[in-house]
C-alpha cells in the first residue's frame, strides 16, 4: 500500500538557519503531495501542496518540489524563525475503491531556538 | 467559516468508562475522517465517512470503538469501555468530495486530547 517516510526528529536549529526535512513516498501512480504543520496544542493545517512532477509548492517561506524520479517531496526553508517550531507531516492521498484518504508520515518535530 | 469543530478539547476519564468525542465538519463537506495521533504510531486513520455512510472502518482498533454520522453536520466517536492505551489525541477532518486533491484538501479540527487513567 501507499506509504510516506519522513526523517526522524527532532530537528533542532538556531534562528535563521536553513531547514530541510526529507520526505519520500511509495504510491501507485502520481498522487498529489502535501505538507501539513501542527503547532503546539493545535490541529493540522495545510502548509503547501503540489499536484504533479516538478511542481513546487510554497507558502510562508517554505518550499517543496515534487520529484518523481526520486519519489521525494522534501520541505525547505531558507531562514527559520522561532515561530516555525512545530511538527511537520508529509502526506499523500491514498485511493481505495474510488475514494481517497490521507496517508501521513510519522511527523518531524522542528525546534528553533533564538 | 468556523472550520471543523471538535468537542471536548480535553477529556480525562477513568478506565472502564464510556467516552464520546464529537465533531462538526465544515458545512458542505461530505467526507469526514477520524484520526488518532500517538507518539508511537503517529497519525492513524480510524474511519472514513462519505455522505454520512461509513466507507472504511478498517482502522478502528477493536469492538470497543464505534463511530456514527447521523447527519451531514455531526459525527461521534465512542469508546466503551475505555482503557489507558486509548489515551491519544483524536482528530476529525472533513473535505469536499470523494477524493482528496490539491483543490479538495482535508481540513482538520483542533483535536480532543483523551487521557484514560
CA dist B114 and B8 (Å) reads: 9
Residue A83, helix vs strand vs coil: helix
CA dist A47 and A88 (Å) reads: 9
Query: A87, A100, A105: which to substitute to probe chain B, counting the most B Cβ within 10 Å?
Result: A100
Distance from CA of A111 to the nearest CA of B (A): 17
The answer to whether A78 and A110 are in contact (CB under 8 A) is no
pLDDT band for B8, please (50, 70, 90 cuts). very high
Whether B77 has a pLDDT exceeding 70, the answer reads: yes
Higher pLDDT pick, B73 / A100: B73
Contact at CB, B42 and A106, closer than 8 angstroms: yes
The answer to whether A35 and A62 are in contact (CB under 8 A) is yes
pLDDT tens-digit readout, A59-73 = 999 999 999 999 999
CA dist A57 and A73 (Å) reads: 10
pLDDT tens-digit readout, B21-67 = 999 999 999 999 999 999 888 899 999 999 999 999 999 988 999 99
Whether A97 has a pLDDT exceeding 90, the answer reads: no
CA dist B59 and B43 (Å) reads: 11
Residues of A engaging B, defined by a Cβ cutoff of 8 Å: 32, 34, 36, 41-46, 49-51, 89, 93, 95-107
Q: What's the CA angle centered on B27, arms A89 and A45, to 5 degrees? A: 15
H-helix or E-strand containing A76?
A: strand A75-77
What percent of chain A has a predicted confidence (pLDDT) above 90?
77
Q: Which residues of A touch B42 (CB under 8 A)?
A: 104-107
Whether A112 has a pLDDT exceeding 70, the answer reads: yes
Whether B1 has a pLDDT exceeding 70, the answer reads: no
| Cα dist from A11 to A55, A77, A109, whole Å | 26, 13, 6
pLDDT tens-digit readout, A12-31 = 999 999 999 999 999 988 88
* B99 inside 8 A of chain A by CB: yes
The residues facing B7 across adjacent strands are B22
Whether B101 has a pLDDT exceeding 90, the answer reads: no
Amino acid at each position: 500500500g501507499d506509504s510516506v517516510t519522513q526523517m526522524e526528529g527532532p530537528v533542532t536549529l538556531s534562528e535563521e538557519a536553513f531547514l530541510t526535512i526529507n520526505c519520500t513516498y511509495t504510491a501507485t501512480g502520481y498522487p498529489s503531495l502535501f505538507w501539513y504543520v501542527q503547532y503546539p496544542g493545535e490541529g493540522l493545517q495545510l502548509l503547501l501542496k503540489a499536484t504533479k512532477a516538478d511542481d513546487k509548492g510554497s507558502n510562508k517561506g517554505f518550499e517543496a518540489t515534487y520529484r518523481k524520479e526520486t519519489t521525494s517531496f522534501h520541505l525547505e526553508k531558507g531562514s527559520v524563525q522561532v515561530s516555525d517550531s512545530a511538527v511537520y507531516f508529509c502526506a499523500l492521498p491514498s485511493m481505495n475503491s474510488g475514494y481517497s484518504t490521507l496517508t501521513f508520515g510519522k511527523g518531524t518535530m522542528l525546534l528553533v531556538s533564538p | 467559516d468556523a472550520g471543523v469543530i471538535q468537542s471536548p478539547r480535553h477529556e480525562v476519564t477513568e478506565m472502564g468508562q464510556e467516552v464520546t468525542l464529537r465533531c462538526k465538519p465544515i458545512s458542505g463537506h461530505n467526507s469526514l475522517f477520524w484520526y488518532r495521533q500517538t507518539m508511537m504510531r503517529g497519525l492513524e486513520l480510524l474511519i472514513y465517512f462519505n455522505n454520512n455512510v461509513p466507507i472504511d472502518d478498517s482502522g478502528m482498533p477493536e469492538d470497543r470503538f464505534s463511530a456514527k454520522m447521523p447527519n451531514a453536520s455531526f459525527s461521534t466517536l465512542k469508546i466503551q469501555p475505555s482503557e489507558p492505551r486509548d489515551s491519544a489525541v483524536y482528530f476529525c477532518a472533513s473535505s469536499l468530495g470523494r477524493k482528496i486533491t490539491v483543490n479538495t484538501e482535508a481540513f482538520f479540527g483542533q483535536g480532543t486530547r483523551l487521557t484514560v487513567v
